[in-house]
Amino acid sequence: MSEAPRICGECETTSPNRREFLATAAATSVALPLLWATPKPAVAAPTMRSPAETAVSALYQSLTEEQKRVICFAWDYRSPNRGLLRTHVSNNWQITQPHIRSNFFTREQQTIIHDIFRGIINPEWYNRFVQQLRDDTGGQPWGAEQSIAIFGTPGEGNFEFVMTGRHMTLRADGNSTEHVGFGGPIFYGHAAEGFNEKADHPNNVFWPQALLANGVFAILDEAQQRRALLPRSPAEAAVGFRGPNGQIPGLPVSEMTHDQKAEMQRVLAGLLEPFRVEDQAEALECLRQQGGLDACYLSFYADSDIGNDGVWDNWRLEGPSFVWYFRGRPHVHVWVNVASNPNVPLNARG
């Protein structure tokens, strides 16, 4: 474990110009596996011995009984206001009252929680996540406005660690719920330069994901664009699964050309990139079991176009039990719900 939480230095977060990106998107393919068929990934899903989960167990062992009464819950604990608390997700909430960087936790416990956080995300994204947290809390250091909870008993059965705050819900569960990606629904977002961002979303660490999707829109033919572009954005917390027989709006990935599907590979890889490789693998396996990218639909929304420039700020990739909803107006909110079983309960609130 690291000695103490350290806040990163200034990191490079400038977004590429959207027009420049769209002009070259079709010509800048990267070497990625063919993901529309979504073969079974070689990397395994998280386990109880993954670094983040090992740190959760260490944290739990360090807690006093008084601390456990505040932040620890039974596996299926139901909150009077939020239902099954372990499955709740929102864009701005505190799962428990104590903030990480407070005297409720010892310095050693704060360090362990920081290790859990670092274990959940892609190391290459650490600086960007810390930049997002700083921007979205008025310059506060990591942990100053985030809180945590632990469900179940680490080391003795199913458990889940949840971290929340503004524009963040992240989880580590060691694959306690085998058919669910990321341990359950997650959320990430960023308001880089104020509540109402400009058209190019300058310095927004997640905006490049939207540029990847708009790169696909740019190489669709007119008929495909008409199918993909919908008039009205859905409610942002509407990320429940429609199942294999559900009517999913948008353009089917299965009807795209080979080149367009290759660009969809880049979109999927870009969406997964911020997270640890084990969670990427589990999400891909969930998607594979529901038919892969060929079972998904891509949609954009005409009612949310900052700058009226035809670069769509709101868009969505959705399959029978795969929802990745990027809401870019007025700033970035991203809702993620992935499973191999569409009958998974969801407790989302925007």
Residues making up the chain, counted from first to last: 350
If pLDDT is split at 50, 70 and 90, which confidence band does 17 have?
very low
> pLDDT tens across 103-151, in order?
999 999 999 999 999 999 999 999 999 999 999 999 999 999 999 999 9
User: Each residue of 327-349: pLDDT tens digit?
Assistant: 999 999 999 999 998 888 787 88
Please enumerate in sequence order all residues whose Cβ is within 8 A of that of 65, keeping only pairs 6 or more positions apart, or say none.
none
In this predicted structure, what is the pLDDT of residue 46? Answer: 83
Average the pLDDT over 246-273 and give the result: 97
Summarize the confidence of residues 28-53 as an average pLDDT: 63
Q: What angle do CA 189, 191, 192 make, to 5 degrees?
A: 115
Domain ranges for the chain: 18-44+190-349, 51-158
* 229/341 Cα distance (integer angstroms): 28
Angle at 97 between CA 95 and CA 48, to 5 degrees: 50
The answer to whether 274 and 188 are in contact (CB under 8 A) is yes
Phi, psi dihedrals of residue 82, rounded to the nearest 5°: -125, 5
**pTM for this predicted structure:** 0.88
